[in-house]
């Protein structure tokens, strides 16, 4: 899962470098041996061979360096991606040279994430014509949720003879937010909460189709006759319509019992708990229950509230959960119809307990269904 990437901005290199690598060392060594043989034997053919070998080194360095002088680089990173899912990262390389094309360009990039995890990214370009540009993309899989930083990026070439190796470094970095892997709760996992999401109570803040009164207003043409408030109409000597309040959704707290240290270190059970919290929040929204989020170890308490979207408003909090500790404050108690505890179940009043160690039994990976469909 990834969203639309940011606008590309071409940048000049921050540093250039000549690399001494094994092929160059062996070639120079062979050239030196050839020169010694020519000097000892005074053979003109050997001197000619030494000259050709040295000319090859010079030409290789000149072509490689000149072809890369005008290169500019940009990176397209999606705004949001999903952990353990392929994310496409685009690279634009522009050649400002008027004559020389660039050949055999290798792009290397580095993604750094939580806990110091490093994911290398590599892709190649066969040719970038003069006064032209090439756009390529590479797929990477980032294993952890959180904030990832990409950079520095490098362009490298060994064209034409593989002897001279030159590179350019671009220090500008980009940030990518990686959300937890998406999971779906199996039917019936939330028990009695799934049997009745709407309990008939009303929300005095919203109009709806309930039976309780929300407000009175002037009659509009097209209002059903059953909505007319006859006593109010007789009192004010004009037709008055009655608006009903929307049924109030049940409110449920989702309590994530993982410790701050385990969330920060991306421990497997803590990550499973985060994925379960995400899945439970989505499931409660689907059945008309307003979910809230509480993470006592991080000082987070977001009360249950209504949302016009099929997802809880606090899902973005799970992306960087544990990276920063929020100062624990006393939150005003919010009315609740139950608690879903994710962890050992030590939260008082929990009506449903989800064990992170049983994640595979409690959830379904939607990507596995896509793979099965593609194979069939």
Is residue 277 located within the same domain as residue 360?
Answer: yes
Residues 29 and 165 both lie in one domain: yes
- Position 2 in a domain: no
Question: With 50 as the cut, is the pLDDT of residue 250 above it?
Answer: yes
Q: pLDDT for 311-356, tens place per residue?
A: 898 999 999 999 876 654 444 355 567 899 999 888 888 889 999 9
Q: Is 269 a member of any domain?
A: yes
Query: Is the same domain home to 244 and 274?
Result: no
pTM: 0.77
pLDDT at residue 376, as a whole number: 45
Could you give the CA distance from residue 166 to residue 102 in angstroms, rounded to a whole number?
Answer: 12
- Which token pair is 357? 């160690």
Q: Is residue 7 situated within a structural domain? A: no
Residue 346 lies in a domain: yes
- Neighbouring C-alpha atoms within 13 Å toward the C-beta of 6: 14
pLDDT of 247: 57
Do residues 22 and 119 both lie within one domain?
Answer: yes
**213, pLDDT greater than 80:** no
Find the domain containing 86 and state its range.
Answer: 15-179
Residue recorded with tokens 């407000």: 215
More confident: 324 or 268: 268
Note the pLDDT of residue 358: 94
8 located within any domain = no
Least confident of 78-82, 217-221, 295-299: 217-221
At 216 the pLDDT is 84
- Whether the predicted pLDDT of 294 surpasses 70: yes
Same-domain check for residues 238 and 304 = no
Residue 4 lies in a domain: no
How far from 367 is each of 54, 122, 187, 372, CA to CA, in Å? 56, 25, 18, 9
- pLDDT band at 251; cut points 50, 70, 90: confident
Q: Looking at residue 222, what is its pLDDT? A: 83
- 6 part of a folded domain: no
First to last CA, the chain: 22
Stretch (H or E) spanning 255? strand 240-256
Whether residue 309 sits in one domain with residue 230? no
- Calpha distance 77→176 (Å, rounded): 7
> For the segment 102-144, what is each residue's pLDDT rounded down to a tens digit?
999 999 999 999 988 999 999 999 999 999 999 999 999 999 9
pLDDT computed for residue 243 by the predictor:
81
pLDDT at 85 over 80: yes
Nearest of 234, 251, 224 to residue 305 by alpha carbon:
251
30 with 149, same domain?
A: yes
Same structural domain, 82 and 138: yes
User: What's the CA dihedral at 181, 186, 187, 189 to 10 degrees?
Assistant: -100
Q: What CATH code is carried by the domain that includes residue 39?
A: 2.60.40.10
pLDDT for the residue numbered 120: 95
Q: How many domains does the chain have?
A: 3
Domain end point (choices 248, 270, 304): 248
Q: Which two tokens stand for residue 274?
A: 């985060």
> What is the H or E stretch that residue 72 is in?
strand 71-76
> What is the overall mean pLDDT for the chain?
85
**Taking residues 365-373, what's their average pLDDT?**
62
Strands (E), 101-209: 102-112, 118-128, 132-141, 146-150, 153-157, 165-170, 174-179, 184-185, 198-207
One domain, residues 49 and 169: yes
Q: Indicate whether 207 and 196 sit together in one domain.
A: no
Q: Are residues 209 and 327 in the same domain?
A: no
Judgement on whether residues 226 and 269 belong to the same structural domain of the protein: no
């Amino acid at each position: 899962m990834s969203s639309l990437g940011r606008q590309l901005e071409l940048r000049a290199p921050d540093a250039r470098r000549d690399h001494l690598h094994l092929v160059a060392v062996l070639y120079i060594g062979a050239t030196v041996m050839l020169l010694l043989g020519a000097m000892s034997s005074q053979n003109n053919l050997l001197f000619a061979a030494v000259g050709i070998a040295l000319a090859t080194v010079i030409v290789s360095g000149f072509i490689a360096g000149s072809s890369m002088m005008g290169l500019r680089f940009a990176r397209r990173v999606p705004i949001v991606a999903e952990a353990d899912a392929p994310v496409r990262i685009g690279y634009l390389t522009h050649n400002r040279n008027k004559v020389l094309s660039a050949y055999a360009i290798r792009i290397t990039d580095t993604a750094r994430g939580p806990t110091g995890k490093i994911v290398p990214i590599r892709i190649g370009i066969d040719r970038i014509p003069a006064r032209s540009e090439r756009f390529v993309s590479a797929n990477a899989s980032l294993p952890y949720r959180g904030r990832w930083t990409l950079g520095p990026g490098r362009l490298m070439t060994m064209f034409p003879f593989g002897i001279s190796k030159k590179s350019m470094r671009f220090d500008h970095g980009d940030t990518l937010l990686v959300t937890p892997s998406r999971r779906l709760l199996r039917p019936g996992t939330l028990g009695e909460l799934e049997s009745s999401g709407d309990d008939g109570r009303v929300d005095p803040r919203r109009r709806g189709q309930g039976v309780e009164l929300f407000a009175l207003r002037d009659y509009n043409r097209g209002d059903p006759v059953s909505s007319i408030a006859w006593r109010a109409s007789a009192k004010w000597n004009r037709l008055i319509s009655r608006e009903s309040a929307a049924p109030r959704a049940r409110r449920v707290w989702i309590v994530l019992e993982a410790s701050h240290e385990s969330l920060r270190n991306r421990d497997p059970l803590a990550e499973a708990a985060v994925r379960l919290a995400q899945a439970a929040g989505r499931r409660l929204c689907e059945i008309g229950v307003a979910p809230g989020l509480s993470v006592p170890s991080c000082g987070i308490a977001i009360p249950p509230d209504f949302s016009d979207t099929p997802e809880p408003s606090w899902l973005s909090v799970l992306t960087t959960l544990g990276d920063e500790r929020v100062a624990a404050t006393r939150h005003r108690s919010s009315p609740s119809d139950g608690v879903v505890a994710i962890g050992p179940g030590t939260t008082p009043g929990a009506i449903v307990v989800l064990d992170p160690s049983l994640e595979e039994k409690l959830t379904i990976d939607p990507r596995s269904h896509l793979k099965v469909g593609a194979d069939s």
